[in-house]
Amino acid sequence: MSARDTVLASVRRSLGVTGREAPRRSAADDRLSRHPRGIIPKRGKLPEKQRIKLFCNQVEDAHGTIEQLASPEQVPAAVAAYLRSKNLPMSVRRGSDPRLEAIPWQSEPTLEVLLGRSDGNELASVSHALGAVAESGTLVLASGPDNPTTLNFLPDHHIVVVDADDIAGDYETVWDAVRDRFAGKLPRMINWITGPSRSADIEQTHLLGAHGPRSVHVLVIGKP
Amino acid sequence: MSVQLTSPQFKGNARRALADPQLQKALGNVGQNFVEKRRQVAAKLPEFDALCDAARDLKDHTLAHLDLYLEAYERRVTEQGGKVHWAVTSAEACHVVLDICKRVGAKNVTKGKSMISEEIGLNDFLAANGISPVETDLGEYIIQLRHEPPSHIIAPAVHLNKEQIEADFRRAHQSLPPGRNLEAPTALLAEARSVLREKFLAADVGITGANFLIAETGSSVIVTNEGNGDLTQTLPKVHIVLASIEKIVPTLEDVSTLLRLLARSATGQEMTAYTSFSTGPRRSGDPDGPGEYHVVILDNGRSAMLGGQFREMLRCIRCGACMNHCPVYHAVGGHAYGWVYPGPMGAVLTPALVGIDKAGHLPNASTFCGRCEEICPVRIPLPKLMRHWREREFERHLAPAAARWGLGIWAYFVRRPRLYRLVTRIAMRTLSLLGSRRGRLKWLPLARGWTRHRDFPAPEGHTFQSRWKRRARYMP
């Protein structure tokens, strides 16, 4: 008997079932296909204006920083200003996500914009989030040909662009958006990011910048 | 069992822990930080209690249908190009990992934090076979340098002070200038970051645990604050996930419910910095990610727990809140428990995994104050489960002779109510007379374990039963 069969047989023996019972099978199938929502906290169900305000507050609570911009055209200047404020070289790396491609980067001629995955040598990256969750100030990023995962973790400073329209109140709303966009399957990697990397492993002292980015800066586009 | 088991020596371990000033200083941090932060963050979410009930129910549902969800999960992983390996025992799981490492010719292996890895003794096993994995969670890295097991399931180095960590870094990082200043915790963190960054970039295989496995999508989920697990699973050619069977959760909605509770209960955060959902290997066109994705699903005695009195323990999501709130853990720390899982959850889980004959002290090392049950986000009745272990220990004649004798004598009297009342009446009067002057007793036969450290409050002269009777007389 294979290890697989041994484990499943032992589970079934303990549960006193065969695995063929129709009511059990339909209960499990039903949950998987209907994926019912659980309890959504009230703060996850706020109207738009308050929702965006909550998101901004939660990002800051998680030690991130945030800026609201009226349009994508303002992104290059905001990125350049952020780099200057941190005394960083005028260079970022980004994926070729269409929403990032559409940004007029040449409007900031001193800003070098590199493309593709990170090999750990750049100080700052720019990503576009697929969505965000107001209840905890969480950004949701999906991997794909145009969105390298390495850009989320290797650079010291991570700048994330998100459309105000994509800021949901709760996680469940974002999951539905992901299901729609990727036809029911998940991309290889979904990263929820809530503030910069941190550790409290030394005497429970809270320190930022453990292995991932030391800072996370969010640019919200639209409806300032 | 490749992890050294010292649970049978719990009493000696505890005595040493109580006399260790470094440890006692470090343990002071647990009671203050974790407890207070959790209290604040739970108070900020009015739905917290309702979420705990929902989490209990969804875990119960999942366990009742575990075979079906495991099969569904495996199907999804396979459809997406990943491979599921099953392991009945620790040894089987270790061999699966070794075989993969050997097949791809792995020279450098990095690891994210995984309690399953500790449980199966993976690091020692790989080292014995010529592969030296590097732990990348800061706490795990520190204890790996010290060749120690974790003392806490989410804060593995919580028993250490920064001076000890500084000494370890100086010993381990000999290529760095000896005169460097490592006094501040930030300097220690910066040094670990640069040393481990090299390891991340050089790794051929990355091994992580999983906080959850999602049946609906075939995803493994890890939560980290450092980003170490994420680098571990993103950069190498091969990603291996280690998880036990009860980590399965049906859907993305279900995992969201549990994630609302996990960080709050564990570190007092609303959400950890990173929550990452991995689904299969790199897709065509992906610029990064592992080329191979393996999941090792471990049983190691859990399927047997599913059938008995301890099923509820399988709801555990490993937040560590029970140990953070445990007066016994606060006093003796995690190493005294003598295996991988300390605190109240360890006192229930360890006997199930290694045997009550070896871990009998653990469920006895509890005051039954009930705080662990009160704060458990999936409502595991930990004191009740510890009581079940005590009963089993007694039934199997494993309890110490003194306890068996004591219970035997007590049983003799309670089965003879008149005699019981007479003897207790005499005893209470005698004790009350002996202690009448100070209201407390300095010495008591058979209770030196108590009176050596503090006085025993003297009874005021009447038994509970006689007082109860008197009270009943005044009732209408």
Extract the tokens encoding B276.
Answer: 């990452």
Looking at this protein, which amino acid is placed at residue B275?
T
Q: Work out the average pLDDT over B104-118.
A: 96
Residue A31 near chain B (CB below 8 Å): yes
Q: What's the topology of domain A46-221?
A: Rossmann fold (3.40.50)
Residue A156 near chain B (CB below 8 Å): no
Show residues of chain B in contact with A194, CB under 8 Å.
Answer: 270-275
Residue B106 neighbours by CB under 8 Å, 6+ apart: B100, B131, B204, B205, B238
Residue A13 near chain B (CB below 8 Å): yes
Work out the pLDDT band at B441, boundaries 50, 70, 90: confident
Judged by DSSP in three states, A157 sits in strand
| Touching A: B residues 191-210, CB under 8 Å | 192-193, 196-197, 200-201
Nearest chain B Cα distance for residue A202, angstroms: 6
Q: What is the end-to-end Cα distance of chain A in Å, rounded?
A: 63
Question: CB-CB: which of B45, B68, B280 is closest to A28?
Answer: B68
Judged by DSSP in three states, A153 sits in helix
Determine whether B444 is exposed, middle or buried from the number of CB atoms within 10 Å of its CB (0-12, 13-18, 19+): middle
Cβ pair B344, B285 in contact under 8 A? no
Q: Which of the residues B58, B65, B224 would you substitute to probe the A interface, choosing the one with the greatest number of A C-beta atoms within 10 Å? A: B65
Check pLDDT > 70 for residue A224.
Answer: no
For residue A144, give the DSSP letter: B
Looking at this protein, which amino acid is placed at residue B245?
I
Listed in order, the ranges of chain A carrying CATH 3.40.50.10420 are 46-221
C-beta pairs of B36-39 under 8 Å, 24+ apart in sequence? B36/B268, B37/B267, B37/B268, B37/B269, B38/B264, B38/B265, B38/B266, B38/B267, B38/B268, B38/B321, B38/B324, B38/B375, B39/B268
Integer Cα distance of A126 and A113 in angstroms: 9
pLDDT of residue A55: 98
Check pLDDT > 80 for residue A157.
Answer: yes
Integer Cα distance of B18 and B25 in angstroms: 11
Show residues of chain A in contact with B235, CB under 8 Å.
Answer: 150
Check pLDDT > 50 for residue B91.
Answer: yes
Integer Cα distance of B101 and B256 in angstroms: 33
| Touching B: A residues 196-215, CB under 8 Å | 196-205, 207, 209-213
Show residues of chain B in contact with A41, CB under 8 Å.
Answer: 45-47, 51, 260
pLDDT of residue B32: 78
Residue B65 near chain A (CB below 8 Å): yes
How does pLDDT run across B398-434, given as a tens digit for each residue?
A: 888 888 888 889 999 999 999 999 999 998 888 888 8
Contact B138 A210 (CB under 8 A): yes
Report chain A's C-alpha Rg in angstroms: 21
Integer Cα distance of A156 and B194 in angstroms: 12
For chain B, the 3-state helix, strand and coil shares in percent, each to the nearest 5, are 55, 10, 35
Work out the pLDDT band at B318, boundaries 50, 70, 90: very high
List, in sequence order, every residue forming a beta bridge with A221; answer none if it has no partner. Answer: A69, A163
Work out the pLDDT band at A199, boundaries 50, 70, 90: very high
Nearest to B156 by CA among B114, B191, B121: B114
Q: Which of the residues A141, A189, A214, A218 would you substitute to probe the B interface, choosing the one with the greatest number of B C-beta atoms within 10 Å? A: A189
Residue A88 near chain B (CB below 8 Å): no
Integer Cα distance of B158 and B164 in angstroms: 12
Distance, C-alpha A160 to centroid of its chain: 9
Judged by DSSP in three states, A191 sits in strand
Residue A76 near chain B (CB below 8 Å): no
Report chain B's C-alpha Rg in angstroms: 26
pLDDT of residue B475: 67
Show residues of chain A in contact with B304, CB under 8 Å.
Answer: 10, 14
Cβ pair B321, B42 in contact under 8 A? no
Check pLDDT > 70 for residue B1.
Answer: no
Lowest mean pLDDT among B141-150, B359-368, B446-455: B446-455
Work out the pLDDT band at B476, boundaries 50, 70, 90: low
How does pLDDT run across A15-72, given as a tens digit for each residue?
A: 999 999 999 999 999 999 999 999 999 999 999 999 999 999 999 999 999 999 999 9
Question: CB-CB: which of A37, A144, A192 is closest to B286?
Answer: A144
How does pLDDT run across A126-151, given as a tens digit for each residue?
A: 999 999 999 999 999 999 999 999 99
Work out the pLDDT band at A110, boundaries 50, 70, 90: very high
pLDDT of residue A204: 86
| Mean per-residue pLDDT over chain B, rounded | 94
Angle ∠(A176,A182,A187) on CA atoms, nearest 5: 105
Residue B88 near chain A (CB below 8 Å): yes
Cβ pair B385, B313 in contact under 8 A? yes
Q: Could you count the other beta carbons within 10 Å of the beta carbon of residue B43?
A: 9
ipTM over 0.95: yes
Q: Which CATH architecture has domain B7-303?
A: 3-Layer(aba) Sandwich (3.40)
Show residues of chain A in contact with B158, CB under 8 Å.
Answer: 204
Nearest to A63 by CA among A198, A221, A191: A198
Residue A23 near chain B (CB below 8 Å): no
The backbone torsions φ and ψ at residue B59, rounded to the nearest 5 degrees and listed phi first, read -70, -40
Looking at this protein, which amino acid is placed at residue B203?
A
Judged by DSSP in three states, B98 sits in helix
| Touching A: B residues 243-302, CB under 8 Å | 245, 250-254, 256-257, 259-260, 267, 269-283, 285-289, 297, 299
The dihedral built from the CA positions of residue B180, A63, B164 and B174, taken in this order, carries a sign that is: negative
Cβ pair B256, B216 in contact under 8 A? no
pLDDT of residue A193: 98
Integer Cα distance of B21 and B439 in angstroms: 34
> Could you tell me the CA-to-CA distances from B413 to A181, B407, B424, B427, B465 in Å, in that order?
72, 10, 10, 13, 15
